[in-house]
Structures are given as structure tokens and as C-alpha cells.
Amino acid sequence: MNSALTAIGLSVPVLAAPMAGGATTPRLVTAAAEAGGLGLLAGGYKRPEALAEQIAEVRAAAVPFGVNLFAPNPIPADPAAYRRYAGTIQPEADHYGLDLATVPLTEDDDHWRDKIDLLLADPVPLASFTFGIPDPAVIKALRAAGTLIAQTVTSAEEALRAADAGVNLLAVQAGAAGGHSGTLTPDRLPAATPITQLLREVAQVTDLPLIAAGGLATGDAVAEVLRAGAVAAMVGTVLIRADESGASKTHQDALADPARDRTLVTRAFTGRPARALRNAFTDRYDHLAPAGYPALHHLTGPLRRAAAAAGDAERLHLWAGTGYRHASAEPAARILARLTANL
């Protein structure tokens, strides 16, 4: 493993991916660290005050950890397309008495500056960024504060851009990953490059240490990416059903449903490419959804929250990587131990 990661406490080459929206909890991050790995709090969609509370909770456990933020890289929504899509999916919202016409077209930056200020005022061991690359001045300031910086990339070209910006590590994410793609060009679907090939392509353009991510859910898959040159593997979907996960029961149950037979990359829920289990919502609207993030995320948010609460898996974003069949309901430590048992 890379000395930078071992220096902050990693003894087993597996990281628990930051899963925004509730799946990643301080308990999950702590459990990953206590198993010898390292977890990253998901700063996306959280107000700075809520993120600060989670940081304090993990600090109290005295374990190594990281924080992931969404770096601004919006896809501005066309107002006419946004309203048209709101009308198209309104029948789904009618099921819960919701009027999507009242949801304003929102183009925000997820409290970006306030969250950076938080990490500068209260430095964490590791900060990672997804969706966009922070300004080099931000990266420099965080590094000066003693924070290790990782950047999610999905191609060799993106890896070069991240290296030029001054990051320490690259989280190389393949298209098999569940949830949102970290692609820097979210107006189009990311390439379906296998993770081992992607690692080789990135290693040809930079000497930065590489963390492999995307569809890794078995011990064999973890061993394969380590042999391919990664210093560690990052896993997410395989932990969604863990005891410490904060994912909704609706989401967890869907991962175990034998009738859920495939995943797809869709922008139907948020206007940005994301891999999810196929359901009625993706069947009806995948081909109709316009690009537009975060506007579509805010538009469908009330519907998705209602669906999760009602146990309605057909109207919920069932984020899942291609290894979702291996997600199991047990302690995170046991899951991580199984992934690294034969290393």
C-alpha cells in the first residue's frame, strides 16, 4: 500500500466509499476503520452544520477517516425541458399527493464554499472530491492544512487534469460503479471501460497512487485490482445492506430481491448519469429525462423521499453497482474481512 494511506491509519487496502443521501453513516465509517480500512463521510447533500456534526462523531471514535465533497460541475437545466419533464413524471407524484410544478428550478453548489471553509478550519486526514476538480488554490490550502487529497476520475484525460491540479491520489472509477458517475463530462454517459483496463490507462499518464472503484464486491475483484496496480480498492454497494448503513429499508430490500435482474446507467432521477437497479421509473422515463444537475435532483427529491418511506421501490433511485448481488445484511467489519481474507 501507499505510504500516504498507511500514514493516516490504513492497514487493510479497502476503503468504504462515500455514499451520499444517507447510506454512509458515522457508524459505517467507524466500522470500516476499526476493520483496518478507512471510510469516507459523504458530504454531498448535507448542510455544513450536519457535516460538522458527523465529523465530530467520527473524531470521537479516534479512528482515521475522510470526507468526500461534490465539487461544482453543474449541468444547467433548460427551463422548458425541466418543466416538460416535471409534467411528464407528475403522474408518479400524484400517487403521493405531490405537485412537482411547485418545485423551483434550483441550480445550487451544495454549500461548496462553506464546506471547504469547514475542512480548512477543522482539517481531516483525507478529503476526496467528485463531479469536478477543485481550484488548485483550494487543493493547495487543504494540503497545507495537513489533509491528503484524492480526486475521482473516470478516464486518463481526467487523471491528467487532476494531477495538474495538485492532488495526492486518484480514485479511478469504472462505469460499473453504483450511484452517480464521477465523470467530469456529465452531459454524456461515461464509457463502459473495465476497471483493470482503466487502471492501466491511467497509470500510463501519471505516477500518482491509484484507488480502484466501481463494481468491486468480492475478494477476487479486490485482489484483481491490486494486482493491476491499485494501492487500494474502494467499495460501496456491497456495504449498503451492512448493519451500519443508513440506506432505506426499501433500497436494502431491493438489492436482495431476486426479481431485480440488472442495473443501468440513467439520468432519470437526477439529470446526471448514475447506475441503479432497473425499476418502473427507469423503464418509463430513462429515455425522456433531460440533462440537468442538480435541478432534476431537486425536482425528484420529494417523490423519492416519499417512495422510500412508503416502501415503494418502483419510484425510488435504487443506486447499485454491478456487484449488487453480493451485498449482504451483516456487520461491515465482516464484509470487509471477507473482501480481504485472501490478500
Tens of pLDDT, residues 289-298: 999 999 999 9
Whether residue 1 is predicted with pLDDT greater than 70 in this model: the reply is no
Q: What whole-number distance in Å separates Cα of residue 63 and Cα of residue 10? A: 10
Kindly report the average pLDDT of the chain as a whole number.
96
- pLDDT category at 29 given cuts 50, 70, 90 is very high
Whether residue 191 is predicted with pLDDT greater than 80 in this model: the reply is yes
- pLDDT category at 4 given cuts 50, 70, 90 is confident
Residue whose cell numbers read 423519492: 304
Q: What is residue 323's predicted lDDT score, i.e. its pLDDT?
A: 96
User: What is the sign of the dihedral through the CA atoms of 105, 110, 112 and 113?
Assistant: positive
Tens of pLDDT, residues 195-220: 999 999 999 999 999 999 999 999 99
Q: How many helices (H) and strands (E) does the chain have?
A: 13, 11
Helix (H) or strand (E) holding 140: helix 136-144
Whether residue 257 is predicted with pLDDT greater than 80 in this model: the reply is yes
Q: What is residue 271's predicted lDDT score, i.e. its pLDDT?
A: 97
Q: What is residue 219's predicted lDDT score, i.e. its pLDDT?
A: 96
- pLDDT category at 284 given cuts 50, 70, 90 is very high
Q: What is residue 229's predicted lDDT score, i.e. its pLDDT?
A: 95
Tens of pLDDT, residues 313-343: 999 999 999 999 999 999 999 999 999 998 8
Q: Which three cell numbers stand for residue 34?
A: 476499526
Q: What is residue 287's predicted lDDT score, i.e. its pLDDT?
A: 96
Q: What whole-number distance in Å separates Cα of residue 70 and Cα of residue 330? A: 29
Q: What is residue 2's predicted lDDT score, i.e. its pLDDT?
A: 61
Measured CA to CA in angstroms, residue 79 lies from 126, 144, 187, 243, 337 at distances of 38, 41, 16, 42, 48
Q: What is residue 187's predicted lDDT score, i.e. its pLDDT?
A: 87
Strand order in the sheet with 263-266: 179-180, 274-277, 263-266
Tens of pLDDT, residues 110-135: 999 999 999 999 999 999 999 999 99
Tens of pLDDT, residues 45-74: 999 999 999 999 999 999 999 999 999 999
Please give the class, per CATH, of domain 3-74+109-242+324-340.
alpha beta
In the chain, what are the domain boundaries? 3-74+109-242+324-340, 75-108+261-317
Q: What whole-number distance in Å separates Cα of residue 32 and Cα of residue 102? A: 41
